[in-house]
Structure 1
Amino acid sequence: MLTIRRLGLLLLLGALPLLAQAQWFSSSDQDDDFLPVLEAFQPTAWHDGDTLFVGVEAADEYYLYRHQFAVESLNNEARLGEPELPEGTFTNDEFLGDVYIFRGRVVMEVPLEDSFSGPLDIDFTFQGCADAGLCYPPETVALQATESQPPRAFADWEPATDDEAAPASSPADTSNDADNTAETTDTSAGLEESAASLGAPQSEDSRFSQLMTDASFPLALGLFFLAGIGLTFTPCVLPMVPILSSIIVGQQATRPRAFLLSASYVLGMAATYAAVGVLMGLFGAGLNLQAQLQSAPVLITFAVLFSLFGLAMLGAFNLRLSPRLAQRIDAWQARAQRSGPPGLALAGALSVLVVSPCVTAPLAGALVIISTTGDAFSGGAMLFALGMGMGVPLLLVGTFGATLLPRSGAWLNGVKIAFGLLLFGVAIWMVERLVPGPVALLLWAALAIGTALALGAVQTNTPSGWPKARQTLGLVLLTWGIALTIGAAQGSNNPLRPLQLSSPSTGTSTAPLDFQRLDRLSDLESALADAEAADRPVFVHFTADWCISCRQLEREVYTDPAVIDELSGFNRIAVDVTDTNTQSRALLNKFQLFGPPSLLFFHQGQEIRDARIQGDINAADFTQHLRELARWVDSR
């Protein structure tokens, strides 16, 4: 007879071939969307014996960050003074805030403290971005500066006067003069004034990203840790609780053992987040590992696995194996038991990638910082702190919750049944994004009614005390299950409000919101151009079939009468990025997004960047956000 642990091991082994076939990295056609870094920015160097000149030519629709220029001499005899650069163009950049940038050609002048002759070897560091939405990580190249005249590309370049040149570190810090500079700077190159500088409302992820950028590294780690604790109580993390608890209950662990297993699970989860941070630091926003594992086959397979494991917890079936195979499984089980913590670490890693498909504001803000700085170490450390914060409540539940459960008897069987039902809930939670709303309601109804019957909702002559309380809970679940069934028959899709078919009349516009659905960048650009010609603001919702938070927005936010009224003046577009392909990557890269849900607002053809929302938001906060945005648009 197969035990619970044997079954879990067998199911995990069965899932490995599927995991091995998952696409872990974006395909190479991403490279066709943007130029390689040394084609987008072409550096060269020369010197005249007294001054080193480093020139860079940026391709059209690409620009360089002034504050990222740096140079280091590789010749011990050549000592470099403080570099000087043109002032550049002041802008409020969507990635790094208030910065100075260069377009076209720029030359950095570096005085040589002693006269030098012959070739001079240097390391030159720079960073740039594309207007289309890609920000390259900082790049360091080895150059040899010959003692010669400027190369042909810089033949018409003339050294800057004292008034035009400035130390390389100064303009980015001249915040007191930023407003005056912005008023006199020529913006004919196509730079758009940021909405933030004009008082546009800032979304949560914009504020978090700016806070993290301004904070010191230890403070940033602490804030990410606190943010992780907060994220534990969101739909992204709550499904991990029954998974961890069921594993520990199945092993009947003592408190020290439960702590070790829980810590292994949490470390696996945090290490996975750290790996995502490192990869983001190295490769930027083009890598969307979590979305790669949200395809329908993977979700369905894991939903089936959780359902089978739930059935096993309920004792619904027994499996008989041949003695030879049983001996092998016993050996595998003994080995797995000896390496319990590594197995739990793997479970934690899989939980992050498969059970958490939504992007919350702190995570989105972190990814913005990491992908634009190219700092793999800081990126990994910040997301590790976030994961550890998320793991603190899990660690407490796994350690103390497990020891509070009896080791034997009817009560333990009841607890295992409860965990089995919770695992069914996780399975439905995973698959509901793939099925129509009424079908999802029927699944929840089946679970609610089944749980109600297990609690004795229809039993008679129930004694007082705990049995009566259990029956009362069963009656509540039975009522909810019946309401879910009725709601499904009427076409509802909200399990929390199954009988609500439409918003009540409030004297305002409460007709259901309709969205223009697109899945190609060219179609989105065309729709934005049409809205600009009609002088209408645009609301763009990035969504996907596997996005749980997107379903919550559709059920609980877009049906709110106040939200409907505020959005009635917008052209509404739903961008579908369900499939991971060239088109979806182009859409996400265009706006430097990391996944749905992402809510973008456009006015006169330009995005109001600081009004962007990534992750969950409730109806009241979204209504307030829209009203602030409307006041800003009216002031324009």
Structure 2
Amino acid sequence: MKLKYIAFLLFAFLAIPALAQKITPAKWSWTIKPANPKVGEQAEVIFKVAIEKDWYLYSSDFDKELGPTVTTVTFKPGAGYQTIGGLKAINPHSKNDTEIWNGTYTYFTGQGEFRQRIKITAPEYKIEGSYDSQSCSNVSGLCVPVKGVFSLAGKAEKAVVADTAATAPVTVDSVAEAPVAKSAPVAPTAPSVQAPQEESLFAFFWIALGAGFLALLTPCVYPLIPMTVSFFTKQKGGKGLAFLYGGFIVLIYVFFGTLLAFFAGASFANFLSTHWIPNMLFFTIFILFGISFLGAFEIVLPSNLVNSVDAKSDKGGFIGVFFMAFTLVLVSFSCTGPLAGSILIAASQGAFLKPIIGMLGFSLAFAIPFTLFAIFPGFMQKLPKSGNWMNEVKVVLGFLEIALAFKFLSVADQVYHWHLLDREIFLAIWIAIFTALTLYLFGKISLLHDGPTKNLSVPRTLFATAVLAFVIYLVPGMFGAPLKGLSGWLPPMNSQGFKGSQTVESVEQKNEALYSDFLELPLGLSGYFDFEQAKAAALKANKPLFIDFTGHGCVNCRKMEEYVWSDPAVLQRLKQDYVVVALYCDDKTELPADKWYTSKVDGQEKKTLGDQNLDFQISRFNSNAQPHYVLLDPRNDAKPMVPPVAFDANVAHFVSFLDQGKSIYQSAK
């Protein structure tokens, strides 16, 4: 029965990103007031926009030179009507943005409304045109165009009063909502939504919960699944300890996460996910647990501590359960991505409840499935004649734990440029581990605590075959195959010993680019790794600047590169339309002392390349999460040309983002 629960959870985790891409952030509808205008009368075409939660839509009444896309409605010259005046936005919000746009813009949340006054000039009228707007996410920073066409048609009644009287302005209160003429192909009118002035804590909780479920798919979380199952296999507390485990996860996240947000600042998540100390600690812990699962030794608490715990049998499992929960929090905290960035920045700016609510929602997403994983072994222990198969499960978990441990070593290796675990070495280790697991499952090798192996069961044979298929999939990677299915798990392609030929142009540009002796762009792209050098190159080439805030340990950065950047439409635009600069926010290369400075954000001295890049991202763009993509005009880099975007696997969205930046740059020439 529990296998069904686990299958359901896995399906839900995989389905969330796909469903997210189907969301339409803003839906337009339109009508006319009054519904039956008379010839010679004025009327209003009313456009209503239903905007999804956590999205906003730019209005129509601010300077288009500011940067964001101003909403426009274009009316075709048509029969039976003429427009009077311009489009009017009804009660939009206003924001003075001095950090990105350096000016005041207006926008809508929840529901927006625009009105255009017209005059009916003939018994039959047909009003047609198009709308062009832009909607952006408060969470990811993604901005997408919202475009479409509209059409209204009807028959006007003959005027019964003088034309001068009929031309009185039509006000909102003087007319009633009425349906559109039956002949008009009109979209359904959206329900009225009260637009909140600020993002509600309730909405932020659900955002954090959803982001937590997505973060469960990241590589730093998977190693804890076999560890949890194995740990609770030995416990006798049943469901009670399992629910206690989930409670500890929530409490530790809320308490320590919020505490660290206030005192460690916005750069702590970057430290935890990329510094060699936590990564080597995680690597060591998982290697030890893995070897223990294989039967080499038993991990036990010190005897004096065990005696003390036994003396208080009602608290016997608390310490071990708390340790497991604390380990999960430490490891998973580095995978919070954009959510962790927004929580930490909100805390550092003085918000009190927002980081607490955010951590609560995020931790619940982790607590729910891991509580189920903790309950599952208790049901296994109750099965009659469990026998040798439970030890076989432990051995399989041990192999997986050792394999997953190398992900943490790989992050530290990339960040510090040790070159101990380049791509082909990492693959060789994984091939060896999973080959040994295949042989074990087929009964060709056995370990210390295994009983006699008789005939293989059907599930074991199928699982062994699946592992063998995975090994076969890994082998071409040794010779340069991209292995997109493992993007983010493996070291990047530029660490591969076998590389394709480089063009003369890319080699020449690589030689002149600062830090190109240890940094490289993916997919054969030419570019830079220093903002000022890239800005000068963009001015010389008369091209806009594409800034890629990235990281060696950034899982979503690798996914974007391998799934989105590699698309021919995106790659062509990056090569031809932009000067690319990759700013690694976790690189630990120490710069010369004359380049050190003290940050205005946290007051700390920035000595390394990664610290300075991260400080630049936080101070200029109010974000500390990677990936983060910014399009700048090098002639005036005070603000981005379009709102920056974060992780989004939709290629069409990214193409639109690049095209919009290019169009704005060219129009400003």
Superposed counterparts of 1:322-361, under 5 Å = 327-328=303-304, 330-331=306-307, 334=310, 338=315, 340-361=317-338
Q: Which amino acid aligns with 1:542?
A: F
- Secondary structure of the structure 1 residue equivalent to 2:425: helix
Cross-structure match for 1:549: 556
Matched, 1:576 2:487: no
- 1:427: Cα distance to partner? 0.5
- 1:303: Cα distance to partner? 0.9
TM-score by length of 2: 0.55
- 1:288: Cα distance to partner? 2.0
Cross-structure match for 1:390: 366
Cross-structure match for 2:523: 512
Cross-structure match for 1:440: 426
User: Is 1:370–1:376's contact at 8 Å kept on the other side of the alignment?
Assistant: yes
CA distance in structure 2 between the partners assigned to 1:363 and 1:212 by the alignment: 24
- 1:266: Cα distance to partner? 4.0
Greater fraction of residues in helix: 1
Cross-structure match for 2:628: 598
With 216-225 and 386-395 compared, the bigger mean Cα shift is at: 216-225
- Secondary structure of the structure 1 residue equivalent to 2:580: strand
User: Is 1:267–1:348's contact at 8 Å kept on the other side of the alignment?
Assistant: no
Matched, 1:613 2:645: yes
User: Is 2:216–2:366's contact at 8 Å kept on the other side of the alignment?
Assistant: yes
Matched, 1:191 2:102: yes
User: Is 1:358–1:597's contact at 8 Å kept on the other side of the alignment?
Assistant: no
Aligned partner of 1:414 among 388, 392, 395: 392
Cross-structure match for 1:488: 478
Q: Which amino acid aligns with 1:613?
A: V
User: Is 1:406–1:412's contact at 8 Å kept on the other side of the alignment?
Assistant: no
CA distance in structure 2 between the partners assigned to 1:290 and 1:344 by the alignment: 27
Instruction: Encode CA deviations 1:108-164: one digit per residue, 9 max, x unaligned.
Output: xxxxxxxxxxxxxxxxxxxxxxxxxxxxxxxxxxxxxxxxxxxxxxxxxxxxxxxxx
Superposed counterparts of 1:456-495, under 5 Å = 456=442, 467-490=457-480
User: Is 2:241–2:321's contact at 8 Å kept on the other side of the alignment?
Assistant: no
Instruction: Indicate the RMSD between aligned Cα atoms, in angstroms.
Output: 4.7
- 1:441: Cα distance to partner? 1.7
Structure 1 residues 417 and 616, CA, compared in 2 at 3 Å: closer, same or farther? farther
CA distance in structure 2 between the partners assigned to 1:579 and 1:556 by the alignment: 23
- 1:451: Cα distance to partner? 1.9
Unmatched runs of 5 consecutive residues or more in structure 1: 1-89, 99-173, 504-509
More relative contact order in 1 or in 2 (CA 8 Å, sep 6+)?
1
Q: Which amino acid aligns with 1:389?
A: A
Q: Which amino acid aligns with 1:291?
A: F
Superposed counterparts of 1:108-507, under 5 Å = 176=91, 191=102, 202=136, 205-206=140-141, 214-235=198-219, 237-277=221-261, 279=262, 285=266, 287-292=267-272, 294-317=274-297, 327-328=303-304, 330-331=306-307, 334=310, 338=315, 340-372=317-349, 374-400=350-376, 402-406=378-382, 408-433=386-411, 434=413, 435-456=421-442, 467-490=457-480, 496=486
User: Is 1:355–1:430's contact at 8 Å kept on the other side of the alignment?
Assistant: no
CA distance in structure 1 between the partners assigned to 2:316 and 2:197 by the alignment: 40
- 1:425: Cα distance to partner? 3.5
Percent identical across equivalent pairs? 22
Instruction: Encode CA deviations 1:494-537: one digit per residue, 9 max, x unaligned.
Output: 5638999999xxxxxx993425353xxxx413422441453312
Cross-structure match for 1:63: none
Cross-structure match for 2:115: none
Q: Which amino acid aligns with 2:628?
A: S
User: Is 2:550–2:584's contact at 8 Å kept on the other side of the alignment?
Assistant: yes
User: Is 2:246–2:371's contact at 8 Å kept on the other side of the alignment?
Assistant: yes
- Secondary structure of the structure 1 residue equivalent to 2:102: coil
- Secondary structure of the structure 2 residue equivalent to 1:430: helix
User: Is 1:513–1:559's contact at 8 Å kept on the other side of the alignment?
Assistant: no
Q: How many residues align?
A: 441
Unmatched runs of 5 consecutive residues or more in structure 2: 1-61, 71-88, 109-131, 144-194, 414-420, 446-452, 501-520, 589-605
